[in-house]
């Protein structure tokens, strides 16, 4: 099974997806923005998007018989990045294979069974990528 994630929205298949502002050890507390909540979901090849809650699994909203590719997306309100700090998009878990994009540009992929992974999205937020 392959899970396709898109963003530009940003998308996921993960309990507890967060965008976190990372910083230097002496730069003060880390700010975390939870992306849990309402997301759009589409089965690959379908035209319709439906609303789902994250964290969740395919089986929560597609049933036990679904074994295809699903696309999750979410709009993230703009926020600033303080100089010298990094922004990490952190996924708590994703099953099998995940491809992650930000505004239509591929960030990378992950292969693993329910393991965490993250991408640095600082340049995307600052408009440099």
If one compares 79 and 5, the residue with the highest pLDDT of the two is: 79
In the prediction, which pLDDT does 57 show? 83
Residue 119 has pLDDT above 90, yes or no: yes
The whole-angstrom separation of Cα 65 and Cα 67 is 6
Average pLDDT, the chain: 77
Cis peptide, bond prior to residue 55, ω within 30 of zero? yes
In the prediction, which pLDDT does 28 show? 59
**Phi/psi at 123 (nearest 5 deg)?**
-65, -35
Q: How confident is the model at residue 78 (pLDDT cuts 50, 70, 90)?
A: confident
In the prediction, which pLDDT does 50 show? 96
Kind and range of the H or E run holding 106:
strand 105-113
Q: How confident is the model at residue 62 (pLDDT cuts 50, 70, 90)?
A: very high
Q: Mean pLDDT, to the nearest integer, of 63-90? A: 87
One DSSP character per residue, 77-94 reads: ------TT-EEEEEES--
Q: Mean pLDDT, to the nearest integer, of 4-18? A: 33
Buried-exposed string 114-123: b where 16+ CB fall within 10 A, e elsewhere: eeebbbebbe
Q: What is the pLDDT of residues 14-36, one digit of tens each?
A: 333 445 544 444 455 678 888 88
Q: Mean pLDDT, to the nearest integer, of 61-69? A: 90
The whole-angstrom separation of Cα 18 and Cα 90 is 5
Residue 95 has pLDDT above 50, yes or no: yes
């Amino acid at each position: 099974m392959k899970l396709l994630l898109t963003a530009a929205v940003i998308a996921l298949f993960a309990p507890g997806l967060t965008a976190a502002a990372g910083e230097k050890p002496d730069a003060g507390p880390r700010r975390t923005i939870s992306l849990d909540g309402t997301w759009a979901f589409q089965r690959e090849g379908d035209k319709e998007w439906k609303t789902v809650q994250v964290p969740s699994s395919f089986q929560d909203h597609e049933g036990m018989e679904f074994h295809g590719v699903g696309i999750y997306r979410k709009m993230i309100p703009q926020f600033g990045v303080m100089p010298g700090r990094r922004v990490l998009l952190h996924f708590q878990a994703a099953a099998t294979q995940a491809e992650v994009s930000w505004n239509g540009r591929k960030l990378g992929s992950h292969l693993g069974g329910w393991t965490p992974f993250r991408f640095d999205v600082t340049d995307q937020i600052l408009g440099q990528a």
